[in-house]
Structure 1
Amino acid sequence: MAKFTPAAHLICPLDQQPLALDGGSLKCLGGHSFDIAKQGYVNLLPVQKKKSKDPGDSKEMIQARQRFLQAGLYQPISDQLNQLVSQQLDASGNKSVTILDAGCGEGYYLSRLATENKLIEKTQVDQKKVELLGVDISKWGVQAATKYQLPITWIVGTNAQLPVEPGSVDLIICMFGFWQPEWFARVLKPGGKVILAESGVDHLVELREIIYKEVHRKNIPELKGIAEEGFKLIDQQQLEFRPATLNKEQVQDLLVMTPHLYRASYEGKQSAQQLEKLDLTAQVVFRVLEFNPQPDNV
């Protein structure tokens, strides 16, 4: 059985009481118990929060994304995230920091953040106590994330009800994930930050031109309702780069790992499947939000 890394502020998804490690389970005082999986993660997604029998990304999507990301094709995105996180941690000066990846998928971005920014080493030499949590609604994603074998708390859960105590998180990263301001406001400390990564208008435009009859260049989503929840946009940066030329297998993995496979026409899919290689534009917008709730929101 793989080792499970317990986090300090986990709560029961059923009654919101603190969870404590008891043998091979997490238990709350209300009598609810959640077994640690043999791979080293815990499932804190209540059945009533599932919108399907197997929510989130499928096993096939996760495997495709693993292959694509491990090939380093999106490493510049990871590098930019790591730089932004480093800036926020340096600015905070806190000795104890909790970072939560909301929608961690197969764990690529959080694991690379931990190793490249030497967050694990910092904890080991007691310079800065860093607690890392990855949450995703897909059990296949979380199972894949445990294979990095890092001291990260991996959790099957939902961003709509993150299973951590209110006011316990310093920084949330959300890489192309689904979120609402009120979800993150519940768990962030005052002064906490959110780093969002979202597709730019020209992201993967070459692929989109092949699989769609008409390409709609949509702007990144507006940050609706953030002020009411105590958030302020403090930074926005755009990253654009051209990954190495994709081979046939990588083109197929890219299709499978994104929603484009399910939105494309039959003709578009056929055209993509015939590609032997593809040069792409990757364009990602990073936005950093700061959380400072008004007194009546606390």
Structure 2
Amino acid sequence: MTISPFEAFACPLDGSALRLNGTSWQCGDGHNFDIARQGYIHLLPVQNKRSKDPGDNKEMVAARHRFLTSGFYQPIAEALSHAVFYEADNVSSLSCLDAGCGEGYYMRYLANKAPETADLFLMGLDISKWAILSAAKQEKTPSWVVGSNANLPILPETLDRVLCLFGFPVYHEFARVLRQGGEIVQVDAGPDHLIELRRIIYPELKEARKSPNAVPNDFKTMGTSSVRYSLILPDKSAIADLLAMTPHMYRASAEGLSRAAELESLTVTVEATINRFRKN
């Protein structure tokens, strides 16, 4: 097995193929994208940004890194690896994109779990430059890209897997970049995910939405699995890091966040659903 960077990039301005030329990627129309000294590529044009600095900020990325590298979500990473590599023994290569990769924890985990029989081509993409900077500093082998799921800078039909982990799927884009028979592996929070923490920070909980189990257009479902376990957050720092890496940090009131800050430890339920959708 070898782990290699994914290199079938498309120009985010005109969609044409990018070619590596020294320390930059260039398209036939002359658009040029330099490789940062940390090794990542910025393929998010300023006109496609919704804010000056979109995505997770530096503090959120650091909190996510501390939390995930502590192993708190390792059972989810293990279930993800089974969903990605379930038939890898029968293929010689596998190209995989983590769409919304954050600081790269799950991609690093997959690289360590890849079967010996398959060559793995990896790409991690996130709209946050701070997340990609963190990922590139930790692991040089995958291709790390600042970009958007709404306009993936990837050539059509060049991927075998697209991962969307607690993120925002853009199915028509995923369909465009996946080969025939390629799969989306989607991880979503279950109804009881972090329910103990949510009871503390919110005055009342809304009734959990039932998953519609809708299959995206041009895909068929290949299976659903779930991960559920109790997680002990042993100290204030772990609780604060978990809050900082979730939307609850910004949805909760000041009073709710104050109650969470007083906790010395907390046991929470972790619940995630993993769906595989295959492109027809």
Do they fold alike, i.e. is TM over 0.5? yes
Give CA deviations for 1:167-214 in whole Å, capped at 9, x if unaligned.
111111111110122121110111111110000000000000000011
* Structure 2: runs of 5+ lacking an equivalent: none
Partner of 1:207: 197
Residue 267, structure 1, aligned to residue 261, structure 2: no
Q: Could you tell me the TM-score, scaled by structure 1's length?
A: 0.89
Query: Once the 2 structures are TM-superposed, how far is the Cα of residue 85 of structure 1 from its aligned partner?
Result: 1.2
User: Does structure 1 retain, via aligned residues, the 8 Å contact 2:157–2:176?
Assistant: yes
In angstroms, what is the RMSD of aligned CA positions?
1.5
Q: Distance in 1 between matches of 2:70 and 2:205?
A: 27
Gaps of 5+ in 1: 293-298
Closer/same/farther in 2, CA of residues 10 and 165 from structure 1, 3 Å limit: same
- Counting matched residue pairs gives 277
Q: CA deviation at 1:221?
A: 4.6
Q: CA deviation at 1:224?
A: 4.8
Q: Determine if contact 2:108/2:139 at 8 Å carries over to the other structure.
A: no
Distance 1:220 1:81 in 2: 22
Alignment correspondent of 1:244: 232
Say whether residues 1:115 and 2:112 are aligned partners. yes
**Partners of 2:233 and 2:239 within 8 A in 1:** no
Other structure's SS at 2:232 match: coil
The Cα of 1:58 is off from its aligned counterpart by 1.0
Query: Cα–Cα, structure 1 residues 6 and 75, in superposed 2: closer, same or farther, change >3 Å?
Result: closer
Alignment check: 8 A CA contact 2:185 2:276 kept = yes
- 1:243 partner amino acid: L
Residue 198 of structure 2 aligns to a residue in which SS? helix
Question: Deviations along 1:231-289, whole A, 9 cap, x unmatched?
Answer: 11121111101123331111011111111010001210110011111111100011110
| Matching of residue 137 in structure 1 with residue 134 in structure 2 | no
Residue 178, structure 1, aligned to residue 175, structure 2: no
8 Å contact from structure 2 (residues 5, 122) kept in 1: no
TM-score relative to the length of structure 2 = 0.95
Equivalent residue of 1:290, what SS?
Answer: strand
The aligned counterpart of 1:20 is 19
* Structure 2 residue aligned with 1:104: 101
CA distance in 1, matches of 2:182, 2:5: 22
The letter of the residue matching 1:59 is K
Percent identity between the two aligned chains: 44
What secondary structure is seen at the aligned counterpart in 2 of 1:186?
A: helix
Q: Which has the higher strand share?
A: 2
Alignment of 1:164-175 (within 5 A): 164-175=154-165
